[in-house]
Chain A
Amino acid sequence: MTRRIALGLCDMACRLLPETRRRWGEAMAAELHHAEDDRAALAFAGGCLVAALRIRVADVETRFGFGMWAIAIVTALCALFQLACGARGVAVLLGAPDGMRAALVAHGAGPALTARYEAARPIVVGCFLALGLAQLASAWLLSQRKMQAFAIAWVSTLAIAGLAVGVQLSIIWNVAGVPSEFHGLLVQAIAVPALLAWHARQVRIHGRAQ
């Protein structure tokens, strides 16, 4: 039983190692057969698992992947927020109470302003939905490390966000709060190039096959 646990731990260590280190995993597993007893084999296998964890954590590609996934998750959360706004807008278009319109009227908006708001409402709602979908696509492309396609999605998202903000500002010139459409894009614009630069520097220093 102990020997089987040791074999399992060693197998786990092999799987945990990055692709470039698999040969070392086989080397560790082979050594297990030379442990003098089950107890020694278990201790050795535990050490192999620790070694694999250390190598995995220090692996540049793994860290890069974690970074990409972290940005992708933040992007996806921004996308969900935009989609929620879009869904709320669709509900309003279908007859649900419009809190924004009520707020405008409460703040003394005249018939011309409310008419402008109502005319632009479908475009703004469409922009929010398109923004959410484009952000979701960006998140997926980041997680897949498809950087060229991500760049296209990012530019598209920027254009949609620009249109949404432009339409909103054409109704009421109130800059405060409007640029929230750009928050996700700003995070990506800073974090993705920084991560790519870090990765390129690490690969240059250590080489791909660590």
Chain B
Amino acid sequence: MLQALLVRAADWRHGYDLTKDTGVKAGTLYPVLMRLADQGLLESEWHPPGRPGAPPRHAYRLTRTGLAYALESTGAAAPAPGRGAVSPA
């Protein structure tokens, strides 16, 4: 999950897109997101919907602390080459 959030770390990501990108089901994704947010590693905000009629979307990205933590954690776990490409925040 942290690796997925590290990819384009500066961009806001949505829950549904994260399930598709990571293959992690919503039942696992949301408790993880909540825990990361509780620990101050993830920030969230409501974004206006991209299409008419849809409700606003909740978007997420790593905080500075979250970014540092994710880099440390995934570094320790030796991420696969090509993953963990971090855009400048």
Contacts and interface: CB of A to CB of B under 8 A. Distances in A.
A26 B54 CA distance: 12
A44 B19 contact: yes
A34 B26 contact: no
A33 B54 CA distance: 6
Given A44-B19, A50-B26, A210-B38, A30 B31 contact: no
Given A46-B27, A48-B26, 11 more contacts: A24-B34, A26-B55, A30-B56, A30-B58, A33-B54, A33-B55, A34-B54, A47-B28, A47-B30, A50-B25, A55-B31
7 contacts: A28-B15, A29-B55, A44-B16, A47-B25, A47-B30, A48-B26, A55-B30
B57 interface: yes
Contacts of B54: 30, 33-34
Nearest to B58: A27
Interface string B37-57: 010000010000100001111
A80 interface: no
A31 interface: yes
Given A44-B16, A44-B19, A55-B34, A31 B57 contact: yes
B31 A54 contact: yes
A40 to B, nearest CB: 9
B14 interface: yes
B14 A51 contact: no
Given A34-B14, A47-B29, A48-B26, A26 B34 contact: no
List of 6 A-B pairs having minimum Cβ-Cβ separation, nearest first: A47-B26, A50-B27, A27-B58, A51-B30, A31-B16, A47-B27
Interface string B54-66: 1111100000000
A184 to B, nearest CB: 38
Interface residues of B, number: 22
A26 B58 contact: yes
A21 B34 CA distance: 9
A147 B16 CA distance: 43
A35 interface: yes
Contacts of A28: 15, 26, 30
Contacts of A27: 15, 44, 57-58
Nearest to A21: B34
B27 A54 contact: yes
A207 B38 CA distance: 10
Contacts of B31: 51, 54-55, 58
